[in-house]
Structure 1
Amino acid sequence: MSERATTGTTIGLDVGGTKIAAAVVDHDGRVLRREHVPTPASNPDAIVAALAGLVSRLGSDDTAAVGVACAGYLDAERESIRFAPNLAWRDFPLRALLAQACGRTVVMENDADAAAYGELLHGAAQDADNMVLVTLGTGVGGAVVTERSLRRGAFGIGGELGHIRVERNGRPCPCGLRGCLEAYASGNALLAQARAAVTAGDPRATALGVRCGQDVDRLTGPDVTALAQDGDPLCVDLVAEVGRWLGEGLASIAAVVDPGLVVVGGGLSAAGDLVLEPLRTAYEANLTGQGHRPLPDVVPARLVNDAGMIGAAALAREAQCRTQAGGRG
């Protein structure tokens, strides 16, 4: 491993449906500089240009490599994005195109996997060997780590925890199926239930109606979370219901992967124990062998919205080290 790869910086990019976040990250996972730009979501080539522009502005001679965290299904080789629900990526060879555009080593990873890796190296999971990360944002993302390694599956698309089925013929999910965990435990699900309460004239929805001026299209997920934190009874119940669904889903996941730690990230994790306590209760109540097996800790993510960038930057550093070691061989 060269001194440059060990002590130099790498760039982490996190591509979302509405914005691209970028950061220069050192070997200890510290963010030194950051920037973000809107995502030109409907134009794949424009996304590449936006990513290359961020690398050009943030990079320096000391910047060894670039890691990209992106939502969607990646191929097993982490070369192409097979499908991204909120971006115009369909079998798109992003890694090679970006490497050519910015002239650096580039690695690509699913956003939840990258976030899990960031938490594993520099966040809430530093002492964990086996863990599950679940991110509560617009949707529900997930990642599985066993023996401190990401488990991506045979085709590279494992860990999609938001798409386990929790209700037969249940609510429609953006993936096209019904009854997925994402349809019950995501920011979109929380917002849909809050808007429905206002529209239906639920007497408990007074504060929500005031918050949005009776225009439900103006209501946001953070509005609901903020009112819950202020103690509004309906919003407390709505956030708790997200936690209960998530706990039930994670209990099913535990039957397969038996995590020693559950890390909860994403915007909804800002609700803290309002979502985590119902999650813990539902998890324990639905766990097979309850009362006769250890329970994992359930903790909030430490890196929060920076986890994907930091994890992607760490993966880029490791790739650069392998490249340099191979070059000397």
Structure 2
Amino acid sequence: MGKSALITGITGQDGSYLAELLLGKGYTVHGLLRRSSSFNTERLDRIYQGPQEPDRRLVLHHADLSDGVALVNLLRDLRPDEVYNLGAQSHVRVSFDAPLYTGDVTGMGALRLLEAIRASGVDTRIYQASSSEMFGATPPPQNERTPFHPRSPYGCAKVFGYWATINYREAYDLFAVNGILFNHESPRRGETFVTRKITRAVARIRAGLQDRLYLGNLDAVRDWGYAPEYVEAMWRMLQRDVPDDYVVATGEAGTVRQFLEVAFSAAGLDWAEYVRFDPKYERPSEVDALIGDASKAESLLGWKPEVRWAELARIMVDADVSKLDAELTGTAVRIDR
């Protein structure tokens, strides 16, 4: 009988890619779905509703990281072999506007899930999605030994979740790991995140539907990787004999300005003609540079990134151009990447 996994945040970018990866490995995959008046499962449509028969090994459950009792009951019912906590309010800029909500869902949500595992007595392994934003103002390169200096409510909440995971590992002997993932993107990235905001704007400007793109700090340095590769690292962390914490990154950095240049040139456009600065997109406290050192993941997990940020920008532009062209012509298109 194959393994089973529970994924919080399954409707997000990482959750959808991870679900596909695990299904491909023979898992039964359970996902948490927040109760809402509208559906938010489009990233899962390929496998959940599908053009052919839906995959019956993917099951969605209405539950929330704010409800500890529901988490205990669900874990007792499902008894999953693995748990992946990808659920969060994950937009850094938004966390300044909604700090309490971010702290509750992103920080306390992780603790509720850990406590639910302990209280339910289920023998499982848990992956906690930690973030490079925990490093914040600490100069790069950043690795597993780099001290944290978060610069946003989101970063602070992730630090709380990180240490809660280690505490439960040490106090209750849980197989609990932290994946400290640096920025990772794809055509499934949310449209309010800067990379997808850029590539979507490229497609719309190319089609004559948009005149300008407004952004904040163009000099921020980030280490961008490809999300489908990063979920492979998550899975590998839970296959080890001993729980540990790992940085996942490419080690190659680029600025937002450089990402702009590559993305617009992929569509034959000059970014400088269309991009304008808007101070409302700046953070109250900025993170200047995040560049990861993933040598531990390469050594112990056998994981190495293949796609670097310039190729990633072109992948995302191609996907957004194809998607918009299909919408304008009324033809069907499926973005699998």
TM-score (norm 2): 0.31
Kindly indicate which of the two structures has a greater share of residues assigned to strand. Answer: 1
TM-score (norm 1): 0.32
